[in-house]
Structure 1
Amino acid sequence: MPVPAPVAAAPAPCGVPAFDPLRVRGGGHRLRRALLRRRRAVAAGLAVTAAALAASGAGGPGAAAGAQERAEAAARAAADAQPDVEKVRLVTAPVRIADVETVRLLRPGDRVDVIAAAPSPGGGESDARVLATGVLVESIPRALESAAEGGALVLLTVTRGVATELAGASTNSRLALTLC
């Protein structure tokens, strides 16, 4: 009869050694970034105020006439220097391009020029004009196989004014793209 193998006893429990607490680095960068942004905003406000005061000539009993007009002009100039969100409002414009094979070459993020070719009434050469330069291709819908006759749809990121011009030109012109 075989003799059973001796069973080893489990090791004695031991305590957890003492160690220093963990310190996570890099957590304060958010606070520093927020303070830096606030400092920049305050500095920009002070710079605009200083420019307005310098342009107004205010500062003593000998202030020049027309100081109020100069201060208002300086404030308008400072406001014009800041990018106006309403002026540069971008929209996504769907544009139907006549050449489907050109659209197959595009990828989202590409920059293109949009050209309108209006057919001439006599059947001669058409007038071509550039409608938009360096616009961003946002996406290309996947219905390219069925779009051979009417062209292919491309979504472009443009300003509101350019979007209006593209919509108007697409009613009576064939639109084409060139890659930038």
Structure 2
Amino acid sequence: MGGRLGAYRRPLAAVLAALGTGFTLLALQPRPVDGSPILVAARDLPGGTTLRAGDLRPATVPSSAVPAGVLRAPATGGVLAGPMRRGEPLTDVRLISPGLLGGYGPGTVAAPVRIADAGSVRLLRRGDRVDVLAPPDTDGFGADSHSRGPLRARLVVASAPVVAIPGGQVGTGGNGALVVLAADRSQAAALAGAGPHLALTITKP
């Protein structure tokens, strides 16, 4: 009887030792992080860097450690407002804002235009396109339906995109309201020389 127990003792001890080793290895394995995916700097990045593939890498952090304004979508083409350390999360304040003319082509300028009818400006939203109209050039003469026909407003620029409507000034007083349009330099010059009492019509975006 003792001989039989001795025969099984060594294999049983080996099995128990293997199980113990397996449990130890499982206990030492890192547990999966239960958190949120974010983007972090793959290496130290200087300020002014235009982000390219490879500058950022995904990382997972605990949900409680996610900073405000974190960006989770790729930001390729964005420009860093300041330096970033390796492993630092990418947030909205780390990127330079595209500004009023973001997305417009080279040579585009922001042209402030004061519209006489402040109420019409109230209808606008950023991204709308407008025609800007000026009073007819009468050359010192009034309307004469017999010789010249009815005078018509002059079209200054057509289908100009609205890029900003300064707040706190729409509908105040009798000075109209300010609108900022995206224009090329020739259009901006035409707007600047169009004089007061400008009007606008909203065109199809």
Q: TM-score, normalised by structure 2?
A: 0.44
The structure whose residues are more often helix, as a share, is 1
TM-score of the aligned structures, taking structure 1 as reference length: 0.49
